[in-house]
Chains A and B, each alone.
Chain A
Amino acid sequence: MMTQDVWEVIWLSLQVTTVSVAIGMLAGIPTGTLLGLYSFRGKRFVVALIYTCMGLPPVLVGVVVYLLLSRYGPLGSLGLLFTPEAMIIAQVILVTPILAGLTMSAVQAKERAYWETAKSLGASPVQMMITIVREARGGIWSGVAAAYGRAISEVGAVMLVGGNIEHHTRVMTTAIILETRTGNFTAGLQLGLVLLAISFLFNSFLMAGVLNQMKSRRR
C-alpha cells in the first residue's frame, strides 16, 4: 500500500511536525535559558506552569484551538480551521513547554561552572547566554527530540483541528485511526511501522546528544 497517497501522508506529517518544532524551538529555547539563568519573583510559579504544560492533554489543546478557530469563534474570520496551519498552531502549544522545560533543566545543570568562568573572562550577558546554550546543547537536543516525538505521534489535537481531510490534513496518526476503523489493520500497522522508524531516528538523535553531553562532562 506504499502508494502516492501514503507518501503524501508521511510528507505532511514531517512538514507539520518540523515546522511546529522549529517554531517551538524559537520560543522555548530562549525562554528556558532565561529561566535557567535568572531568578526573579514568581519564578517558581512560572516553572510550575511550564512543567504542567509539558503534560498538557493534546485533546484539550485541540478543543481550545478548535473553539478559537471555529467559524463561530473569536478567530473564525481567519478561516484556519481544518488546515495544516491549524495543526501547527496546536502542535506549537504542545511542544513549546517541553522545549522550554528541558532547556531550563539543561542550562541549570551547566550554569554554575560556566557562568562564573564566562563572567570572570569579561563576557557580556548575551555572550554568556550563547556560551551556556552551547555547553548545554546535549540536554537541549534531547528536548528537541522529545518534542519531535511528541508532535509526530500526536493524534487527538491534529484530528480535531485538522479534520483528517484526505489530500489536505491527513497525517500518519489520523490515517492509522481511519485504517483501523475501516478494518484495514494491515495498512494501519504498516503506517505505524513508518511512524516507529521515524521516532527511532529521532531517538537515536537524542542518544547521540546525551552521549556527547556525557563525554564533555567526563573531560
Chain B
Amino acid sequence: MKTIQSITTLFCLALLLLLAACSSSQPAAAPEQGNQPAAAPAPAPSAGEKKEIILATTTSTQDSGLLDALLPVFEQQSGITVKVIAVGTGQAIKLGEEGNADVLLVHSRKAEDEFVEKGFGINAFDVMYNQFYIVGPAEDPAGIKGVQSAKEAMAKIAEKQSPFVSRGDDSGTDKKEKSIWKEAAITPEGSWYVSSGQGMGETLQMADEMRAYTLTDEATFLSRKLNLEVLVQGDKSLLNPYGIIQVKSSAKPEEGMQLIRFFTEEQGQKLIGEFGKETYGKGLFVPDAKKR
C-alpha cells in the first residue's frame, strides 16, 4: 500500500518536472501565441477601443533610448499603444515573416530588400542612419588608428591576429562586420577572432575586458563608459541605414501605417535628429526619410 502511494507520488513528481521543463523550453514560441488574442477581439478598430500594434526592432533603437524619446509622443497623438519587441535584426525579420509583428524597424538593407521581395513586407521607407565605429584599446596593437578605409583596418587586425570580438549573432551589426571581412577578402578564423553571440553592450564590455577590437554602432558605444577608443570612423561602408517596413500580413495596416508616417514625416524626423544632442553633444541618428 505504502509502496503504491510512494510510487504514485513519484510519478506525479516526474510528470510535474517534465511539465515544468516543457513549459520552460517554450518561451521561444510564447510571443506568437501572445499576439493572437490581442488581434482577435479588435478586427474593426472602433473609436473607444484601445488600439495596439507590435513593433519588432533591433536592440540598438531600444538600448540607445531613441524609442523612449519617440514612442510616447506617437502614442499620445494617435492613441495607439506600441508594443516593442527588441531583438536582433535576424529575429525581427523572422517575427515579420511569421506575422508576429505589425511593423519592423531594422538595419540590414539586404535582408530588408529580401523581406519585401518575398512579399512579406510593403511600404518600405528609409528612416535614418547612424555610424559604425571600429573601436579598440588605446594601445592599438594592430596600428589602425587613422586608417581611412574600414576594409584596410580590418585587414591589418587580421594580419596581426590582434584579438577581435564579433557579435556572431546574425544581427545587423554582425552582418555589417561580415560584409567588411568579405570586402577585404578575409575569412576571420583562429583564437584571435572571438564570437560572443551576444548583444552590442555585452560585446563591447567583452572587448574592453580582453583588450580587443570590435565593430560597434555609435549609439551603444556612446552610452557606455568604457576604456575603448574610436579608431576608425567616417568610411562610407561604416554607415548604418535603418529602414521601417510594414508587415503585409498585419491585421492592423491602418495603425501600422500611422506609425510609419510618424517616423518618416516632419515631426518624427525632427525628434530623431535631436535625439542624443543633450546627452552626447551630437545627435546619434541622422534623419533621412524617403520612400524606397
Interface residues in A189-206 by Cβ distance below 8 A to B read 189, 192-193, 195-196, 199-200, 203
Smallest CB–CB gap between B171 and chain A, Å?
8
For B211, the closest partner residue in chain A by CB is A71
Residue among B87, B93, B209 with most chain A CB within 10 A: B209
Smallest CB–CB gap between A167 and chain B, Å?
8
Chain B residues within 8 Å of A4, by CB: none
Interface size class of B (residues with CB under 8 A): 35 or more
Q: From known contacts A183-B93, A183-B94, A192-B25, infer whether A71 and B197 are also in contact, taking CB-CB under 8 Å.
A: no
Please tell me if the beta carbons of A159 and B198 are within 8 angstroms of each other in the complex.
yes
Please tell me if the beta carbons of A207 and B10 are within 8 angstroms of each other in the complex.
yes
Contact among B24, B88, B196, B209 with A181 in the assembled complex (CB-CB below 8 Å): B88
Q: From known contacts A165-B194, A166-B168, A207-B10, infer whether A71 and B91 are also in contact, taking CB-CB under 8 Å.
A: no
A2 to B88, CA, bound (A): 24
Q: Does A188 contact B (CB under 8 A)?
A: yes
Q: Does A211 contact B (CB under 8 A)?
A: yes
Chain B residues within 8 Å of A164, by CB: 196-198
Chain B residues within 8 Å of A112, by CB: none
Q: From known contacts A164-B198, A203-B14, infer whether A183 and B90 are also in contact, taking CB-CB under 8 Å.
A: yes
Q: Does B6 contact A (CB under 8 A)?
A: yes
A164 to B198, CA, bound (A): 7
For A192, the closest partner residue in chain B by CB is B25
Q: Does A163 contact B (CB under 8 A)?
A: yes
Q: Does A105 contact B (CB under 8 A)?
A: no
Q: Could you tell me how many residues of chain A have their Cβ less than 8 Å away from some Cβ of chain B?
A: 35
Please tell me if the beta carbons of A218 and B10 are within 8 angstroms of each other in the complex.
no
Chain B contact residues: helix, strand, loop or mixed = helix
Interface residues in B59-101 by Cβ distance below 8 A to A read 87-88, 90-91, 93-95
Interface residues in A163-188 by Cβ distance below 8 A to B read 163-168, 170, 174-175, 178, 180-183, 185, 188
Q: Does A70 contact B (CB under 8 A)?
A: yes
For A167, the closest partner residue in chain B by CB is B195
A44 to B246, CA, bound (A): 61
Interface string of B18-60 (1 = CB under 8 A from A): 1001101101110000000000000000000000000000000
Q: Does B210 contact A (CB under 8 A)?
A: yes
For A188, the closest partner residue in chain B by CB is B28
Q: From known contacts A163-B206, A200-B18, A207-B14, infer whether A193 and B25 are also in contact, taking CB-CB under 8 Å.
A: yes
For B170, the closest partner residue in chain A by CB is A182
Q: Does B169 contact A (CB under 8 A)?
A: yes
Chain B residues within 8 Å of A175, by CB: 197
Q: From known contacts A181-B91, A203-B17, A210-B10, infer whether A189 and B25 are also in contact, taking CB-CB under 8 Å.
A: yes
Smallest CB–CB gap between B99 and chain A, Å?
14
Q: Does B118 contact A (CB under 8 A)?
A: no
Chain A residues within 8 Å of B170, by CB: 182-183
Interface residues in B164-203 by Cβ distance below 8 A to A read 168-171, 194-198, 202
Please tell me if the beta carbons of A182 and B22 are within 8 angstroms of each other in the complex.
no
Please tell me if the beta carbons of B18 and A182 are within 8 angstroms of each other in the complex.
no
Q: Does A214 contact B (CB under 8 A)?
A: yes
Smallest CB–CB gap between A216 and chain B, Å?
13
Q: Does B2 contact A (CB under 8 A)?
A: yes
Interface residues in B90-130 by Cβ distance below 8 A to A read 90-91, 93-95
Chain A residues within 8 Å of B198, by CB: 159, 163-164, 178
Smallest CB–CB gap between A57 and chain B, Å?
16
20 contacts between A and B (CB under 8 A): A70-B209, A82-B206, A82-B209, A82-B210, A164-B196, A164-B198, A166-B168, A170-B197, A178-B169, A181-B91, A182-B169, A182-B170, A183-B88, A183-B170, A189-B28, A196-B25, A200-B18, A200-B21, A203-B14, A211-B10
6 closest Cβ pairs, A-B complex: A183-B94, A192-B25, A166-B195, A183-B91, A182-B170, A178-B197
Residues of B near any A CB (own CB < 8 A): 2-3, 6, 10, 13-14, 17-18, 21-22, 24-25, 27-29, 87-88, 90-91, 93-95, 168-171, 194-198, 202, 206, 208-211
> With A71-B209, A165-B197, A181-B88 given, can you name 17 additional A-B contacts, CB distance below 8 Å?
A70-B209, A81-B209, A165-B196, A166-B194, A166-B195, A166-B196, A166-B197, A174-B197, A180-B27, A181-B87, A181-B91, A182-B88, A183-B93, A196-B22, A199-B21, A203-B14, A210-B10
